[in-house]
Structure 1
Amino acid sequence: MDIESIEALRGALDEGVPLGRLRLQGLDLTDDAALLTGRDVEGLVVLGGRLPMPLARYLTRHGAVVLPPAPHAPVDPYRGHVYTPDELYAGLTEHGYGATPDARAYAWSRSASLRHDAYVAVLRATHDVAMEDALDGVLRGHPVVGVMGGHALRRDDSAYAEAAGLAHRLARHGLVVATGGGPGAMEAANLGALAPDEPALTDALRRLGAVPSFVPDIGAWAALGLEVRADLLARRPADAPQTCSVGIPTWFYGHEPPNVFCDHVAKFFSNAVREDGLLSRSTAGIVVLRGAAGTVQEVFQAVTPRYYADDDSELSPLVLVGVEHWTVTMPVWPALRALAADRRMASALHLVDSLAEAAQIVSAHHLGR
């Protein structure tokens, strides 16, 4: 049982849960050492947080596992919750992008002196496991549609506005929009899901065009995004869902900063863990917009479980948008059709030119379940 607050720890103790079943994540036990002192703590695992020295000695001498904090890491590897855009971009206005937790985490992950450090590798892996658990907590019970697409799409491109409109329609049908959490088409989808209505989305698109790309200035791109996001949140009705979209980016692609329009950001050090987590959680279907190598990789990762699905599995739709792009520019569609021949997954594959048609396919599947 993961325990992420003192209140949750008190509750578990009141219910008589054996301490050996608990995993304490990032708790400040400075003033609450008495909760654990004198108890049977064998098997208890304490991940980071703050412990008074007498308590730390008691725990280790009586069979608990205590993993100390990592003060030199730019992120808490034991954190029990996902990120917010404001958290990742903290300090942006005062000190520039390079000083933000997001930029510092990327530098830490790519440092030549740390790349083969076994301890740092354990911290990064621990962080990603904790992030997966936190993401599961956010998405549990929600139907999720993945929207995939390239990072190079500019904010002032008509295709950006179309992608935002697609996600806006999907979110209004009760679906949580999940993206790779980066710029371009991913940002457009998170923006569309966040916008409370079409006039708000239109206004946001107009304003964002003033800084159309994160190249060459990530700071200006993110700062404008944060301003627009704050205004959209202020216009969100009190009874609106608080989880319209999530972003699932990775520090592996350091040149792709996270966009700020997600309600929640689950950022990973491992791109492999991130890719699998994004696709496997898109239970209501996947819409693939125009993209290049990274998007092509996601297409085939999404196809594999559909290809090997057994007869009892429900196959959610995989919709590729852009007939010419996916048959000529990036000829993925012929390969998909060849794989799908005489298999159940053929009915789950769709190639369309219209984003409205893509939204209709996914929404009809969701509403018909």
Structure 2
Amino acid sequence: MTQRPSKYKGPTVQRGKAVDHSTTDQRLLDQRGPTDWVHTDPWRVLRIQAEFVEGFGALAELGPAIGVFGSARTKPEDPAYAQGEALGRRLAEEQFAVITGGGPGAMEAANKGCSQAGGVSVGLGIELPFEAGLNPWVDLGVNFRYFFARKTMFVKYSQGFVVLPGGLGTLDEMFEALTLAQTQKVTSFPVVLVGSDYWRGLVDWLSGPVLESGKISAHDLDMVTVTDDVEEAVAIMAASREEHA
């Protein structure tokens, strides 16, 4: 049987002709929509509230966890996929749960490594027009309509972040975590970028023009560690846990 296109909207799944082609975030933020939709904003607040309640309820007893970011486009033959598996496995062995965006690619790799090692493999899915559902290695999954609700769960329940090679979504998640730490909106936590060749250009830019022009301070760069060694990444997370125990 040919697999039909499918799409998740929070806890709801759409397949075939039932699939719509916009997202809840898009409709929320689009001021050009019809007025009847705009006038439903007060009711939409209840749905937003429900997403927070669902996320808090699902994750409240999770225990120590590390957020892992990375590209959904990472292929199984990509070395970054193997690194993701190894990372998920080692975090589980160190008694960390692993939280990813629940998608394919690098996220799937980290979930797979964690699940196979007997750890708690968490996926926080998001409604997108081009991705369908959580990867099969997610043991505890929550689907969200709104990015901001999902991002809150990452920050609230992760004690640190490991970032595998990724694109715009990965950069967004990484820089949001760094910004929250820099502005002391959250207790500082370690951020490790895995893949020195991949991240070198970004780090050179931050430590060059951005720092030299006074847009950031040298201390801001200390929040980030770049490595090719999964063991080092895991050791940094474990050391931070001990420091804040």
TM range (shorter): 0.7 to 0.9
Residues 1:110 and 2:31 aligned together: no
- Cα gap change, 1:333/1:194 in structure 2, threshold over 3 Å: closer, same or farther? farther
AA at the equivalent of 2:13: D
Equivalents in 2 of 1:127, 1:321: separation in Å? 36
Superposition deviation, residue 286 in structure 1: 0.2
Does residue 309 in structure 1 map to residue 190 in structure 2? no
User: Is the CA contact (8 Å cut-off) linking 1:151 and 1:186 kept in structure 2?
Assistant: yes
What do residues 264-315 of structure 1 show as CA deviations (whole Å, max 9, x unaligned)?
A: 2111111233233323432x100010011111111110111111128xx742
Whether 2:88 is the aligned partner of 1:176: answer no
Q: Secondary structure at the match of 1:174?
A: coil
Q: Structure 1 residue 139 and structure 2 residue 59: aligned?
A: yes
Give the aligned residue type for 1:271.
Answer: F
Higher Rg of the two aligned structures: 1
Moved more, 359-368 or 122-131: 122-131
Q: Alpha carbons of 1:122 and 1:96: their partners in 2 closer, same or farther (altered >3 Å)?
A: farther
**Aligned residue for 2:112?**
191
The yes-or-no answer on 1:350 pairing with 2:221 is no
1:98, CA displacement in angstroms? 3.6
Matched to 1:281, the amino acid is: Y
Deviation of 1:346 (Å): 4.5
**Which of 184, 199, 209 is the aligned partner of 1:326?**
199
Amino acid corresponding to residue 161 of structure 1 in structure 2:
A
Q: Is the 8 A contact 2:7 2:19 kept in 1?
A: no
1:234-288 Cα offsets, whole Å, 9 max, x none, are xx6xxxx6xx02111211x221222121122111111233233323432x10001
How well do the aligned residues superpose, as a CA RMSD in angstroms? Answer: 3.3
Relative distance call for 1:118 and 1:94 in structure 2 (3 A) is farther
Residue among 202, 206, 216 paired with 1:335 = 206
Correspondence for 1:290 among 153, 156, 165: 165
Counterpart-to-counterpart distance in 2, 1:130 and 1:176: 24
Indicate the residue corresponding to 2:46 in structure 1.
126
**Structure 1 portions without partners, runs of 5+:** 1-92, 197-235
**1:189 deviation in Å?**
0.8
Secondary structure of 1:103's partner? strand
Contact 1:307–1:340 (Cα < 8 Å) also in 2: no
**Identity level (%):** 29
> Which residue in 1 is equivalent to 2:30?
none
Instruction: Tell me how far apart the structure 1 counterparts of residues 240 and 67 of structure 2 sit (CA, whole Å).
Output: 14
Q: Give the alignment of 1:245-284 within 5 angstroms.
A: 245-251=121-127, 253-257=128-132, 258-282=134-158, 284=159
> SS of 2:145's equivalent?
coil
Q: Is there any run of 5+ residues in structure 2 with no aligned partner, and where?
A: 28-32
Q: Flag the 1:354–1:159 CA change in 2: closer, same or farther, 3 A.
A: same
Q: Distance in 2 between matches of 1:357 and 1:308?
A: 26
**Length-normalised TM-score, structure 1:** 0.53
Q: Following superposition of structure 1 onto structure 2, how do residues 358-369 of structure 1 map, counting pairs within 5 Å? A: 358-368=233-243, 369=245
* Cα distance change of structure 1 residues 335 and 176 upon mapping to structure 2, 3 Å threshold: same
Distance 1:323 1:298 in 2: 19
**Paired AA for residue 107 in structure 1:** V
Which structure shows the bigger proportion of residues in strand conformation?
2
Deviations 1:143-202 (A, max 9, x none): 121000001011233321221110111012111111111110011111111113xxxxxx
Could you tell me how far apart the structure 2 residues matched to 1:278 and 1:364 are?
A: 20
Assess, with a 3 A threshold, how the Cα gap between structure 1 residues 341 and 95 changes in structure 2: closer, same or farther: closer
Q: TM-score, normalised by structure 2?
A: 0.76
- Distance in 2 (alpha carbons) for counterparts of 1:300 and 1:95: 36
